[in-house]
Amino acid sequence: MIAIRLISICALSLCVLVGFPSTARPIVAPPAQRLPAGARHLCSEHVTGTNMHITWTSFAVRETVPQTRAFYEAMALRFTTSDDGGLVYASNAQSRLMIYPASGSYPSCAERPLPNEHAVIIRSRSTP
């Protein structure tokens, strides 16, 4: 009995020193929801139309447009070029991820990219 109790105490001490085994899995965001390190939130907007609502959020990053594109393409996202020159990834008819040069034209608000931020990422979602 004493031996079992001693083993239990030793095992508990080992777990405390080394760490308890964890069965929790980290939560990983889908690739289109991830952002490059150092991304800075610019703004979020909501636009209401007659038959649709669009919510979008923009972020500024220090990387260039090709570097930002490579960040997402490394996670198997593929982009097309939009009519306004931006890069667009559409996971479905409602969700979009767009990349624009910070010096270019894109949906924006009062907050602008800093001089050392070279690309703008916009995530948008439309709902009826």
Q: What is the residue extent of each domain of the chain?
A: 35-127
Residue 19: what pLDDT? Answer: 54
Helices (H), the chain: 2-18, 65-73
Q: Report the residue count for the chain.
A: 128
Q: Which of these ranges, 8-12, 24-28, 42-46, 53-57, has the smallest mean pLDDT?
A: 8-12
Give CA 48 to chain center in angstroms.
Answer: 24
Of 53, 97, 46, 93, the residue nearest 75 (C-alpha): 97
Q: Which residues of 107-123 are buried (b: 16+ CB within 10 A; e: fewer)?
A: beeeeebeeebbbbbbb
**Mean pLDDT of the residues in the chain:** 85
Q: Token match 């909501």: residue?
A: 46
Can you name the residues that pair with 124 across neighbouring β-strands?
56, 96
How do residues 38-59 score in pLDDT, each as one tens digit?
999 999 999 998 899 999 999 9
pLDDT (tens digit, 9 = 90+) per residue, 60-71? 999 999 999 999
Question: Is 112:42 a contact under the CB 8 Å cutoff?
Answer: yes
Q: Are 114 and 58 contacting, i.e. CB atoms less than 8 angstroms apart?
A: no
Going by the DSSP 8-state scheme, the letter that residue 39 receives in this structure is -
